[in-house]
Structure 1
Amino acid sequence: MPADEPSAGEKSDIIRFGNKIDDRRQLKILVADDIEDNRTLIQLYLKHLPYRLDFARDGEEVIDSWRSRGPFDLILMDMHMPKVDGYQAVSKIREVERTEHLERTMIVALTASALKEDADRSVQAGCDRHLTKPITRESLQRAISDTVTEPTRAERGVGGPRPRVYIKRELEPLMANFIENRRSELDRLDQAVQAHDLSDIIRITHSIKGVAGTFGFARISELAQLVHDSAAEADMIKVRQSHANLREHWDRVEIVYS
C-alpha cells in the first residue's frame, strides 16, 4: 500500500484506530482481504479497541507492507486473494523470517471453509491459527487475544520445586534406555513443531504418551496428550504452548526409585 496519507477526498486503505491510546499499548495488526466489505466489517468489529490496523488487498501488498511497515504483532490473512494468495504470502514471510533470522509474526488464516483439510493446509503453510468465515465479533476478538497472548510460567504451572516421579526399583535397569528413547523423540518433536508438521507431531506424541504412561510418568503422558490433541485440531498456538510445557516438565523432572 502507498506509504503517504491520502489527500482530501481520497479513500485510504490504511486504517488506524485508538489514536488516544498510548502507542506502546497498541497491537499493530495487518488485515489482508481482497473484498472491501470484509475489510470494513473487521474495521467495525475492532473499533475502539487498542489496535492499530493496516489493510492490504492481495498477497503482494501483504508482503510489501510486512517488509516496509512491520513489524506487526499479527496478520489476519484471507487465504484466497488475487495475484499472490494467502498461502503463498505466508510461505514467503516464513521463508524470509528463517533466512534473515527475524522474529516470528503471528498469522491467523481467514477462510470460508470449515474443512479440517483446509485448516491443516493453512497450518502447513505457516499460519498459527485458522478462523472460518463468516467471522463474528466475538470469534475475531477471541482469536486475536488467544494468538498474541503467551502464558506466563506461573500460568502454565511450571517453576517452583522440581516434579518427582517415583519408579519401582525393578524398572531401574530399563530406565537408561527409556530416557534415551524419549530424548530422541522429544528432539524429533521439536523439529516437527518448528516445521509445522502436524502428522509427525501427532505420531510422536502418541508414542510418548503411551510409553510414558506405561512407565509411570503420568504427567508427561498427559502433557503429550495435550500436544497431540492440539495438533489434531490444527491449532499451532496450542501446539507450541503445550509443547513448551511438555519440554519444560521433561527437563525438570526427577526420578526417585522406591
Structure 2
Amino acid sequence: MPTSLYNHLLLADDDPRSAEIARMLLHSFGMAVDVVTNGADAIERLRHRTYDLVLMNIEMPVMDGLEATRRIREAQAAGDIAEVPVIGMSAHTLLGDREKGFAAGMDDYIPKPFTGDTLRRLLTAHLGEI
C-alpha cells in the first residue's frame, strides 16, 4: 500500500504560482499539504505540528530557507521540533547553491521548475514508495 495516503507535507514558497503547482503535484500523489510563504512561518508550523517532509524554497522574504533550516535543526537538537527531512528548492541553480543548502542542514535539493517525475523520485527517496 502506498504511504502517500498518510503523508503530510509542509511547503514553504513565497511565489504563489510555484506554490500552487507544487501543491497540485503533491495532491496528485495523495499527499496533504500545508503552505506557508516564508521560513519564519515554516518554523512556527513545525513547532505545533509534525510533518513527514518540508519542501523549503531557498529565497523567501522575512526569513529565507537557509536560515529557516538552520533554525529548524537547532530546534530539533533542543527537542522543540520533531525530526523532519527538509528539501531545498530554488529557481537559481548557481554553482554552490546545492552545497549551501546541505551546509544549512537540508537533506536534499531540487531545482525549479521541476517535473512531477522528478518530484516523485525525490519524495520516494525520502518517504518510501508513493
- Indicate the SS of the match to 1:71: coil
> Structure 1-normalised TM-score?
0.46
1:34 equivalent in structure 2: 14
* In 1, Cα distance between equivalents of 2:28 and 2:19: 16
Distance, in Å, in 2 between the alignment partners of 1:79 and 1:48 is 24
Could you tell me how far apart the structure 1 residues matched to 2:51 and 2:80 are? 16
Deviation at 1:103, TM superposition (A): 4.1
In the TM superposition, what are the counterparts of 1:204-219 in structure 2 within 5 Å? none
Following TM superposition, by how much is the alpha carbon of 1:101 offset from its aligned partner in structure 2, in angstroms?
Answer: 7.1
1:106 and 1:142 map into 2 onto residues whose CA distance is 15
Q: How does 1:1-258 map to 2 (within 5 A)?
A: 25-68=5-48, 70-100=49-79, 103-149=82-128
> When the two structures are superposed, what TM-score results if normalisation uses the length of structure 2?
0.89
Q: Deviations over 1:62-109 (max 9, x none)?
A: 1111112x2110000001000111011101110010012754210100
- How far did residue 115 of structure 1 move? 3.4
Structure 1: which 5+ residue stretches go unaligned?
1-22, 151-258
- Percent of pairs identical after alignment? 26
Segments of structure 2 that go 5 or more residues without pairing to the other structure are none
- Compare the two structures and name the one with the higher strand fraction: 2
How far residue 47 of structure 1 moved from its aligned partner, in angstroms, is 2.9
2:28 counterpart SS class:
coil
Quote the Cα distance in structure 2 between the aligned partners of 1:56 and 1:135. Answer: 19
State the SS of the aligned residue for 1:66: helix
Question: Is the Cα–Cα contact under 8 Å of residues 58 and 88 in structure 2 kept in the other structure?
Answer: yes
Cα displacement (A) at 1:26: 1.3
Please give the secondary structure, in 2, of the residue aligned with 1:30.
strand
Query: What residue is the counterpart of 1:165 in the other structure?
Result: none
CA distance in 2, matches of 1:92, 1:83: 14
3-state SS, counterpart of residue 29 of structure 1: strand
Deviations 1:131-158 (A, max 9, x none): 01111111111111112239xxxxxxxx
Change beyond 3 A, Cα 1:101–1:41: closer
Report if the CA contact (8 A) 1:33-1:56 is conserved: yes
SS at match of 2:106: coil
Shift of 1:48: 3.3
Greater relative contact order, per chain length (Cα 8 Å cut-off, separation 6+): 2
Which consecutive aligned stretches of 4+ in structure 1 deviate over 6 angstroms post-superposition?
none
Instruction: Tell me if the contact between 1:30 and 1:76 (Cα under 8 Å) persists in the aligned partners.
Output: yes
Q: 1:144 to 1:24 in 2, by over 3 A?
A: closer
Normalized per residue, the structure richer in helix is 1
